[in-house]
Copies of this chain bind each other. A is one copy, B any other.
Amino acid sequence: MMNRKKFIQTAAALSAGSLLAGCRAEESTQGKAPAIITNKKYKWFMVTTWPPNFPVMGTSCQLFARKVYEMSGGQLDIKVYGAGELIPALEVFDAVSSGTAQIGHGAAYYWTGKVPATQFFTTVPFGLNASEQTAWINHGGGIELWRKIYDRYHLRPFLSGNTALQMGGWFNKEINSMADFKSLKMRIPGLASRILKAVGATPVLVAGGEIYTNLERGVIDATEWVGPYHDQLMGFQDIAKYYYTPGWHEPGSTMELIVHSKAFDELPTHLQQIIEVCAGYCNDWAMSEMLHKNATALDELKNNANIEIRTFSPEILDTLKKVTDETLQALADADEEIKEVYTSYQNYKQMIHQYTNVSEKLYYTRM
C-alpha cells in the first residue's frame, strides 16, 4: 500500500510537462521466459443451458468461442452447443464436471438442487446489482468461494455475462398491495418462488415454450422472464396488461463459464490465460449488449397502448425484502456452506451500498 508522501510525489507527474526525475523505467513483468507453445491443437465441446442462438446469453458463447479461436490462432477450437443439441440444459453441470464436455456455460443457480450455495454466484432477491456483483466476485472474496466449492466437482468457474436488472414480470391482475399476491398464479422459478409462496401466491413451474399460451389462456395470471428485450421477443406485450418493475428477484444475474479442471490444467499457460481473459471480455460485452438491447426494446414497448408499465409499491417491496431476508437467513442457518457464502455476500453488500448510496444511487436520483 503506497504511503501518502510517495503517492503525492508520483501524482506530481500528472501535471503537464513534468518529468519524474530519477524514476527508473517500469521493470517489465514480462522479463520471464515466454510460455512454451506446443503445436498441439485442442478441439473442445461447449455445452450450454441456452437454446441455440439465444440472443445475448447464447450468442455470447459463440462470441467467446470465436474470440478464443482467433486469439489462439486456431489452436483452441471450441464448438458451441445450445441446450438440447447434445444434452439437455440441466445436464450441463454434470457433463462438464465429469469431463464429458470440457467447457460449459449457464447460470450457477440452476444447480442449487445439488450445490445450494451456488445461488449467490448468480443472484438473490434484493441482492447485489450487476456491477456490485462483479466487484464482489472479482475482489470481495466471491471468486475464491466459488472456486473452492466448484473444485470438488472438478470445475473451474469464471463469471461471464450478466442479465442486468431484470423486470418484475407480466401480469393480468393489478398488484397494488400484498393482498393481490394471494392466490396469484405466477410462473417464477427458483428462490423467488419460495418468497412468493410465503406471501400467499401460487408459484407455478412452466416450461419456457409454454409460458405464452398458459398466460394467454389464463392458466397463469403472471410470469417473469428476463428484461424488455427478451420479453418482447416472447410477445408477452400481446397478452398481458401490466409490465411490473423492478425485478426485485433478479437484480443482476451473473452468467457462468465452467471448465473441467483437468482439461483446464492440461492446457498450456497461454490458452488458460486466453480463456480467463475472454471470459472477462464477454462479461463486459454481454452486460453492455443487454443494457443496449433492453433500452431499445423498452423504447418500443413504452409506445404500446395495450400495456402499462407499473412499479411495485414501496410497501410491497419492503414486505418481499423482509421475507427474503428471513428465507436467506433460514437457509444459511441450516447449511454451513450457504452460511459461509451468505456471510461474505451480505457483508459485502452492506459495505458497497454505503458507497453506492452516496455515489451511483445519488447520481441517479439527482439527475
How far is A367 from B125 in the complex, measured between Cα atoms in Å?
11
Q: Which residues of B contact A367 (CB under 8 A)?
A: 126, 321, 353
Q: Given A23-B85, A288-B135, is A167 in contact with B298 using a C-beta cutoff of 8 Å? A: no
A311 adjacent to chain B (CB < 8 Å)? yes
A11 adjacent to chain B (CB < 8 Å)? yes
Q: What's the tally of chain A residues with a CB closer than 8 Å to chain B?
A: 134
How far is A364 from B362 in the complex, measured between Cα atoms in Å?
9
A294 adjacent to chain B (CB < 8 Å)? yes
- Closest-by-CB residue of B relative to A361 is B364
How far is A295 from B207 in the complex, measured between Cα atoms in Å?
41
Q: Which of A173-216 contact B (CB under 8 A)?
A: 207-210, 212
Interface 9-mer from A44-52, A145-153, A336-344:
A44-52
Is the CB–CB distance between B52 and A10 below 8 Å?
yes
Is the CB–CB distance between B284 and A366 below 8 Å?
no
Consensus secondary structure, chain A interface:
helix
- Closest-by-CB residue of B relative to A209 is B12
Is the CB–CB distance between B135 and A291 below 8 Å?
yes
A-B contact pairs, 16 of them (CB 8 A): A2-B233, A10-B54, A13-B51, A14-B89, A17-B88, A23-B52, A23-B84, A24-B85, A29-B65, A30-B65, A131-B287, A139-B293, A140-B292, A165-B363, A295-B354, A299-B351
Which 8 pairs from chain A and chain B are nearest by CB? A34-B74, A12-B209, A15-B207, A20-B84, A10-B51, A139-B292, A280-B281, A284-B284
A134 adjacent to chain B (CB < 8 Å)? yes
A26 to chain B, nearest CB (A): 5
Is the CB–CB distance between A360 and B14 below 8 Å?
no
Interface 9-mer from A96-104, A114-122, A256-264, A270-278:
A270-278
Is the CB–CB distance between A131 and B130 below 8 Å?
yes
Q: Which of A315-353 contact B (CB under 8 A)?
A: 317, 321, 351-353
Is the CB–CB distance between A280 and B269 below 8 Å?
no
Is the CB–CB distance between A134 and B288 below 8 Å?
yes
Q: Which residues of B contact A13 (CB under 8 A)?
A: 51-52, 82-84, 89, 208-209
| Binary interface encoding of chain A residues 9-46 relative to chain B, with 1 for a CB under 8 A from any of its CBs, else 0 | 11111111111100111101110011111000000000
Is the CB–CB distance between B209 and A273 below 8 Å?
no
A219 adjacent to chain B (CB < 8 Å)? no
A271 to chain B, nearest CB (A): 8
How far is A294 from B357 in the complex, measured between Cα atoms in Å?
12
How far is A53 from B7 in the complex, measured between Cα atoms in Å?
9
A4 adjacent to chain B (CB < 8 Å)? yes
Q: Given A13-B82, A13-B84, A78-B30, is A2 in contact with B354 using a C-beta cutoff of 8 Å? A: no
How far is A134 from B53 in the complex, measured between Cα atoms in Å?
24
